[in-house]
């Protein structure tokens, strides 16, 4: 079945262009040009992915994202003004899965959407093949239920954060380079100057620390990240 995509952007000409291209690429796209309307619509209608412009009139894109994350985990790819690193970082911290600068290349957008959807499908396949829980110390993930806990408390992770934690736990005690993390957790190669992994890891660290798991993910400068195995920890 073709993936459904909702484009939330007030630029009607751009929406028309992206819609036409995504149809040719095998997607089933729709477009809404108002943020508040989009939030209400998404409460009743499910999509496989959402493309969200940060610069919306009225209800701004980041507020739309915040409200979406209060009730759904649908992958969100943000469109940000070129050079606006702050919007990208804040968006990722609020739960966006990926971003592209505007004006965006429709072919690149399609590729990014496929990467996000491919990651989700890989996660589902993994759940079927590896339904058993993974435990390192007091950090536990259940691939089948898509839940992660620290000391018994649900961490409320986004899809990207869950994917990163799963890869790190699978390689607990070993350094995992950023390219591997990007390919396995985000479903795409690591791009030059891409800070997505770092921002997602920062958010993941904060969620772990809030439940007593401070310092569990170590940075290895110039390489990647390592989930530490403390003496006495077990791994299932």
Q: Please, are residues 72 and 50 in contact by the beta-carbon 8 Å criterion?
A: no
What six digits make up the tokens of 61?
A: 């894109």
Spell out the per-residue pLDDT of the chain, length 236, in tens. Answer: 689 999 999 999 999 999 999 999 999 999 999 999 999 999 999 999 999 999 998 899 999 999 999 998 899 999 988 667 788 888 888 889 889 988 889 999 999 999 888 877 765 555 544 557 889 999 999 987 888 999 999 999 988 899 999 999 999 999 999 999 998 888 888 887 788 899 999 999 999 999 999 999 999 988 999 999 876 554 44
- HEC letters along 114-135: HHHHHHHHHHHHHHHHCCCCEE
The kind and range of the H/E element at 147 are strand 147-150
**Can you list the domains of the chain with their CATH numbers?**
4-119 (3.40.50.2300), 130-227 (1.10.10.10)
Q: Indicate yes or no: pTM above 0.75.
A: no
In this structure, what DSSP letter does residue 186 have?
A: I
Tell me the three state secondary structure of residue 185: helix
């Amino acid at each position: 079945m073709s993936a459904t995509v909702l484009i939330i952007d007030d630029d009607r000409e751009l929406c028309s262009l992206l819609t036409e291209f995504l149809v040719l690429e095998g997607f089933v796209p729709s477009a809404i040009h108002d943020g508040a309307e989009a939030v209400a619509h998404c409460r009743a209608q499910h999509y496989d992915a959402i493309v969200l412009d940060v610069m919306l009139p009225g209800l701004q894109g980041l507020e739309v994202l915040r409200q979406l994350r209060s009730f759904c985990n649908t992958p969100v790819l943000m469109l940000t003004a070129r050079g606006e690193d702050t919007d990208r970082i804040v968006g990722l911290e609020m739960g966006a899965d990926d971003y592209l600068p505007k004006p965006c290349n429709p072919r690149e957008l399609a590729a990014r959407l496929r990467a996000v959807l491919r990651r989700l499908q890989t996660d589902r396949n993994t759940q079927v093949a590896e339904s058993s829980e993974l435990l390192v110390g007091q950090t536990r993930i259940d691939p089948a239920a898509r839940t992660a806990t620290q000391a018994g408390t649900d961490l409320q992770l986004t899809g990207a954060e869950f994917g990163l934690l799963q890869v790190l736990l699978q390689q607990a005690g070993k350094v995992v380079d950023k390219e591997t993390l990007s390919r396995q957790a985000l479903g795409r190669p690591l791009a030059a100057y891409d800070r997505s992994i770092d921002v997602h890891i920062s958010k993941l660290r904060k969620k772990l620390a809030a439940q007593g798991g401070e310092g569990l993910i170590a940075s290895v400068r110039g390489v990647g990240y390592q989930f530490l195995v403390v003496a006495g920890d077990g791994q299932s």
